[in-house]
Structure 1
């Protein structure tokens, strides 16, 4: 046997906060289990029609169960009558009476199984039920009248309780009002029969009248309670089913979107590993503690593979710098999206994978996703198509732009490194060669190496010798090679407008515990799926659809509920069974209410029937009344407060205490079961006391004397047998109808009640029961009493068995629904995570909003600081890439430090160059009306500079702090590698950093995948500052140096430096000492200062701040 450790769900009160303060009322969850709320919700969700059709199926299932029960009871009655020792002719007539009555009832109701009649004429179900009920009622009463008039037998009715159970529990009557009216008619007929045909005396008339009225009232009330609870369960199940299907619909679509996005970012070779890693991190974030999460977050992903026989294409837009510095942001984004969208579509046509953009550089690889012997031809064809596309854009938009392209064939490493902004990239000697082929090429031509040319059919191209620059390039001539310039006609359909390229749409599921009207998808396929699924919804443990075929022979249904020994439904999963038992009971107040009413009736009947003083009964009366009244007040106090004040009122400590007590009872299965057992125990004890109070010997003496001397018998000397039996049947009904109690426990208690009753009936007080009225001629009275209890037990058991199966099916559905919601949430989070790996965090929501409107997203920033940091002395091999992955991952961890105020955003990593920017998002939280918000990077905790919160130039200082932190991180990594016996040769890595600042444009372009990029003079200048800088130095432009000096940071003038595109400009080095700390300006009073958490607040706000820190 496998032992499964099950943790009991923990409960925490939503009331009674610290120090027992007043509280507010939370009634939202209870509302979800109220009949009127669920009914209105079905109408709001436009489900009433579908619900009615499902309700018809459900009731037909119950009707099929009733046929079995009714047939069994009829056969049992006939068998008992047939086995009587005396068989006069009219006894056979009784058997015929039973068979004919049952046959008429079944025949009348059988037409309901003809689907087209029921669907088109729903009134027939109610009409056939009324006729069947009247047939059963008049058959029972008619038999009593016939035997009284013709044979002198004063018989007691047989089926009053059973017919009421039949009305409320089995007959296909949709309306509760019709059930109640029909139940009242049947009750009135039986009460009238009792008064006019049983010959009651005047002394006992008032008592008998009230006893019969209360008896039928309680059974009708029990039936209405069952119908309401069943309707609540079914409606809740129906709404859950719809939400389940919609969640499944959302999940399928989300997974398709996720797969589409993932496949556009990463090739299939590594997409699965990245996907699994993202999913695991999202799931672990909900399950693990902070230390475990940190351990997982610190684990780096390195998914790098070697790809032989590929062709690398590098493309550069000529005059790109002029383009990004002269065009307005909206026009620039439109141009770039049109241009790169065309390139993406052409790459898709030639099966070439675009790697990424790098400003004016667009590079991709042929033969990477799938090996292709024609990779060289595909790459060159794409290059020719790109030249044709940019020519068309140039002519349409009147722009002075062109394309310079380089293609080389060879081997490369490809994969993902780092922790943040995971992007697919390529490395290798051949990648560097392709890059230099592009840089030394000519606009309008594809510059290829001799290796690539050898894989081409030269008859398809015009071939020219390579450029002179290529012959002088040190990288290309390191392994001497000849280069060539190619041109040719672009292939058909490879030159297309980007407007024809559709966006990848993302619509994420709104996270909500409950389905709202606006959340219902209008998709036709979903509507059809919902309609089909509602038709397939399981109706009960036994199904009797006339059209059902191919029934499964196994005992386990598809919903995970199995039958234990046919009698008890149970889950296959023990944890699920445990959670079902310990679920919260939000309808407990209704069970308490009906128990209270039955308790009052029980006390009244016994107090009226027993004229002798019973001290024990008085004590039990008081205990029962006080306990039930207290439970009723506690149970309904919350509902009363919500009805009168709703949730706005602040309640006193006493009210909060009552709320807490009731909430604990609702959430605790142990407490609910204790209340349930106590109520039934005190009911049965009180009923038993009325029996024990009877002096059996005295009753027997008086009975013999009354029989011998024909005295009138005292009806109040002992308990009344039929009153006791009816009350016992009522208690059995309450035992099964009490909501959210384990079915096995209900059945066990009901069996014990039946067993105790049989002991009283056949052993303790058989004399009294034997001399009461019987229900059939020559049938001993004790058999009549036993049959009534058995009929009640069978009816309530079968009914509750079906309800339990449906309840467990609904619970399983809710459990699956929660899992679907969690899966959908994880999928949504993974989509957002993937988008955040491409876009800055603040851009994701804006991008999705613009995407829904089919608009291009773009922004314009007045002041952004841009940094390029390049790692030097890297050899491209697997060991170096492992080191590169470690270093980039450490750099990415620093981003978490720069997220609170001025966010440092990683833009991309290209090769060994790390690009970041500060100022793309300002996320400064308000700390109060008197708070002065100041920032200070944690890496420089001992500095005393400060700056004002509204100065945009602060982003330059934050960017420089981040750059110094990169240098410190690299220094620590070099020390760690130097101390390693295996990696000591990797400890001589250097870094060269360039920073520039100014006005920047940002936007999202591209068709095959969304690509976020920034453009403007600061981007170009930061790149040039890095490329012309020195190892171990931070080179900045003059504008950035002036800003840093204002903050008190010393900058040394380097001199006039030649920068491509702008000639010579003054540049500066940020002064850093040997310990990698800033050098301050000597005798300089900075105009801007900056500190960390320099906040002036009130005392309360200050204490709250210290707690949060």
Structure 2
């Protein structure tokens, strides 16, 4: 069972791009594990209500435009053929009005969707049939608005926003009605063509497939929105909880008396800064120390530092030190070591502070080896002779805060002095460790005996310290990157174990707060929300007010072009699936032309275009395909240059807007070329007998004209 805690950004590109399965299924599982399905359902319901007004205006506007085009472009328009369009305009609001309420059950929404879908279907059918009957002409071969009816079913009608297969069943049912209509029209015309019927069935099937993919994209966006908002809510509650538990957290790190003193000092200092009072020198504050009996200490010093100070300018030297110490700190975070201080060219850190963990010696030696590697990389990049001497020793320390004006957390002990002597008696590029540290390491480290200088060191002799030089670490049996994950998971697990009660409370609070947040989320403009929009304008901090202020009402884009650009420039993980759907559309076009017995030359051209689309699908999905076979981490990048280039191309298609947009345009043009192979055979005279418009697919599927 997956953990109920939400510790990572699952909606981020870096997180979603590393999973093996389908991205929308991963988000679905995440919503279930976090118990956010109710929030997702509520957001879908809000989007559905917002779409009700939009679909009514779309249908009314579409009917008006269609009637105007018929009256202006066609001669001798049969007015009776316009009756279905007026019927649609009149009855659509009455049918859809039931879905404009918040308290309507899902069954009512589904019934309204079925009624509206078949109402549009039959009006589409009768518009052509009435014109043909009135003129005594041949019956129409295919209807005009089949694609729009299916689009409304999958994207706009209320049934499209409910979980399950209701929308797919309705879409297939409408498709069956259209196929039966085409078959019956052929029967009335005494010209039954199974080739035409098969082509039309393929056409409806690919429409259902494309619009079904649109529903997947919409659900993917809804779940990303919910998870993103949940992450904000969760982090806000965590922040508030941490603020409330600050005292307990400090007491778990520092002695209780030191916590009280520091809190008092902080409050006094803030008050003094507000009053512009300069803190006076005083020794009234007591010194508090805390013992840590089992830690590992690292002391590093730069070799040839004096030569660098005499040969480099001060800004250049500071830049080099900054580059080194920043990378050292990042490595310390990875290796669970705490940097204590750095002075000039010296760098000190300790593993095992503030919380003890058994692997402190391994983490400290790993930190030392990584620091040496970082130093060598920077030295090679800058063409300088930079190296480190590092000493590592395991023992006890006393840690505390000293100072008055500038506080400093530092460590002191005999073992700290021993570590300093290990560093001075070591060799550049090697880690000088004591026998105590070596005994805590596993067998993955390569080492030799220590230096002669260490054997002659009086401090080390007095303490009975035997030393060794560690040169490297043998590779683990597990894949690179798993060790870091184990460490981080262990750290998170121990933290959760200590504060499990807090996080259970946070999870419950976040789920309750999330339902309130969903109600405030903006899902789009709705004509029913006009009153709410007016009232929200009074509150400049409301989400609805900010949405209306920053986004154009009609264009539905950000008012600031920089924001719009940043929005479109985000990585698109669904691009590979979009190209796959386009390939399926191309395959359907090729199948239709093959059934209609197109010229061999046209078929060869279409096959070549389809092969090119298949190559594009392979390039876009190569990263995903490779991830199914082998885990991809920065340490496991392929060595073969062709594989690396394929991975880069796949990542560029996902990441770069400058690649996705031209690629999409090219693919759409290729699909247009495939679908227009029969366009020269079209004739606008076909519009006259039925006095209605025909879709391009209608002309393409009419082999007898």
Q: TM-score, normalised by structure 1?
A: 0.37
Describe the shift of the 1:245–1:668 C-alpha distance in structure 2 as closer, same or farther (beyond 3 A). same
Q: Conserved in 2, the CA contact under 8 Å of 1:556 and 1:563?
A: no
| Contact 1:168-1:179 at 8 Å conserved across structures | yes
Q: Determine if the alignment matches structure 1 residue 245 to structure 2 residue 159.
A: no
Q: Which residue of 1 aligns with 2:193?
A: 205
Distance 1:644 1:205, change over 3 A: farther
The offset of 1:637, in angstroms, is 4.7
Aligned to 2:702: none
| Residue of structure 2 equivalent to 1:537 | 521
2: CA distance, partners of 1:510 / 1:272: 39
3-state SS in 1 of match to 2:193: helix
Of 255-264 and 126-135, more deviation after overlay is shown by 255-264
Per-residue CA deviations over 1:102-152 (Å, capped at 9, x if unaligned) read 3333322211122122xxx22221121011111111222234444444552
Indicate whether 1:162 and 2:148 are aligned: yes
**Corresponding residue to 1:141 among 102, 105, 125:** 125
Q: CA deviation at 1:256?
A: 5.7
CA contact (8 A) 1:176 1:227 kept: no
- Report what 1:51 is aligned to: 40
For the structure 1 residues 651 and 149, does the alpha-carbon distance in structure 2 shift closer, same or farther, using more than 3 Å as the test? same
- Alpha-carbon distance in structure 1 between the residues aligned to 2:649 and 2:116: 47
C-alpha spacing 1:546/1:108, structure 2 compared with 1 (3 Å): farther
> Is residue 78–residue 95 contact of structure 1 (8 Å, CA) maintained in 2?
yes
Residues 208 and 245 of structure 1: CA distance in aligned 2, closer, same or farther (over 3 Å): same
| SS of the residue 2:158 aligns to | coil
Query: What is the CA–CA distance in structure 1 between the aligned matches of 2:239 and 2:219, rounded to whole Å?
Result: 29
CA RMSD of aligned residues (A): 4.7
Distance 1:550 1:561, change over 3 A: closer
Match of 1:101 among 81, 88, 91: 88
Q: For residue 625 of structure 1, what is the aligned residue in structure 2?
A: 610
CA contact (8 A) 1:32 1:38 kept: no
Q: Tell me the distance in 1 between the aligned counterparts of 2:224 and 2:193.
A: 46
* 2:568 aligned with 1:581: yes
Cα displacement (A) at 1:157: 2.1
C-alpha deviation, 1:668, in angstroms: 2.5
Bigger radius of gyration, 1 or 2?
1
Please name the residue that 1:66 is paired with: 55
User: 1:225 deviation in Å?
Assistant: 0.6
Alignment check: 8 A CA contact 2:35 2:511 kept: no
Match of 2:375 in 1: none
Task: Tell me by how many angstroms 1:557 deviates.
Answer: 5.0
After superposition, give the CA deviation of every residue in 1:142-192 in whole Å (9 maximum; x if it has no partner): 344444445524345232111011101101111352111111111111122
- 1:600–1:251 distance in 2 versus 1, CA, 3 Å: same
Quick one: structure 1 residues 137 and 690, their matched pair in 2 at CA, closer, same or farther if it must change by over 3 Å? closer
Q: Secondary structure at the match of 1:676?
A: helix
- Contact 1:33/1:232 (8 A) holds in 2: no
Residue 191 (1) aligns with residue 179 (2)? yes
Q: 1:547 to 1:643 in 2, by over 3 A?
A: farther
Cα distance, 1:96 vs. partner? 4.1
Q: Which runs of 5+ in 1 are unaligned?
A: 1-12, 15-25, 275-287, 300-414, 423-507, 695-717, 722-767, 790-1109
Corresponding residue number in structure 2 for 1:234: 222
Quick one: distance in 2 between partners of 1:131 and 1:547? 29
Alignment of 1:573-652 (within 5 A): 574=562, 576-609=563-596, 611-612=598-599, 614=601, 617=602, 620-640=605-625, 642-643=627-628
Say whether the 8 Å CA contact 2:609–2:670 is kept in structure 1: yes
What aligned pairs does 1:957-1106 form with structure 2 within 5 A after superposition? none
Higher strand share: 1
SS of the residue 2:226 aligns to: helix
Describe how 1:209-224 pairs up with structure 2 within 5 A: 209-224=197-212
Q: Distance in 1 between matches of 2:28 and 2:507?
A: 24
In the other structure, the counterpart of 1:171 is 157
User: Distance in 2 between the 1:518 and 1:167 partners?
Assistant: 46
What SS does the corresponding residue of 1:29 show, helix, strand or coil? coil
Structure 1 position 36, deviation (Å): 1.9
Residue 322 of structure 2 aligns with which residue? 291
Higher relative contact order (CA 8 A, sep 6+): 2
Structure 2 Cα separation of the partners of residues 568 and 641 of structure 1: 38
Question: What SS class does the counterpart of residue 191 from structure 1 fall into?
Answer: helix
Aligned mates of 2:65, 2:407 — CA distance in 1: 75
Does residue 663 of structure 1 match 2:623?
Answer: no
Cα distance between partner residues in 2 of 1:202 and 1:634: 49
What is the deviation of 1:788? 10
Change beyond 3 A, Cα 1:83–1:680: closer
Aligned length: 468
Q: Give, in whole Å, the separation in 1 of the partners of 2:322 and 2:38.
A: 52
Verify the 8 A CA contact 2:237 2:509 in the aligned structure 1: no
Q: What SS is found at the alignment partner of 1:531? A: helix
Alignment of 1:252-651 (within 5 A): 252-255=240-243, 263-270=263-270, 291=322, 416-421=404-409, 521-522=505-506, 526-542=510-526, 544-545=528-529, 548=532, 550=534, 558=546, 562-563=550-551, 566-570=554-558, 572=560, 574=562, 576-609=563-596, 611-612=598-599, 614=601, 617=602, 620-640=605-625, 642-643=627-628
In structure 2, the CA distance between the partners of 1:618 and 1:74, relative to structure 1 (3 Å rule), is closer
Report whether the alignment pairs 1:34 with 2:23: yes
**Shift in Å, 1:546:** 8.3
- Identify the residue that residue 64 of structure 2 maps to in structure 1: 75
Given that 2:53 and 2:527 are in contact with CA atoms closer than 8 Å, whether structure 1 keeps it comes out as yes
Deviations 1:585-626 (A, max 9, x none): 221221111011111122333455464454xx4664354132
Checking the alignment, whether the CA contact within 8 Å between 2:171 and 2:208 is kept in structure 1 is yes
Q: TM-score, normalised by structure 2?
A: 0.56
The equivalences for 1:821-900 within 5 A come to: none
2:686 alignment counterpart: 772
- The residue number in structure 1 matching 2:106 is 122
SS at match of 1:570: coil
In 1, Cα distance between the equivalents of 2:644 and 2:325? 39
Q: State how far apart, in whole Å, the 2-side matches of 1:256 and 1:686 are.
A: 65
Cα distance between partner residues in 2 of 1:547 and 1:570: 23
Q: Residue 61 of structure 1 contacts residue 539 of structure 1 at CA under 8 Å; is this kept in 2?
A: yes
Please state whether the residue corresponding to 2:532 is helix, strand or coil: coil
Provide the residue aligned with 2:359 in structure 1.
none
Does the 8 Å CA contact 1:563/1:570 hold for their aligned counterparts? yes
1:18-33 superposed matches below 5 A: 29-30=18-19
Q: Which residue of 2 aligns with 1:701?
A: none
Residue pair 2:84, 2:124 contacting (<8 A) in 1 also? no
Please give the alpha-carbon distance, in whole angstroms, between the structure 2 residues aligned to 1:542 and 1:264: 54
Q: In 2, distance between residues paired with 1:638 and 1:237?
A: 25
| Structure having the larger proportion of residues in helix | 2
Shift in alpha-carbon separation, 1:245–1:651, aligned structure 2, 3 A:
same
Q: 1:418 and 1:644, CA in 2 relative to 1: closer, same or farther beyond 3 A?
A: closer
1:521 positional shift: 4.0
Shift, 1:72, TM fit: 1.0
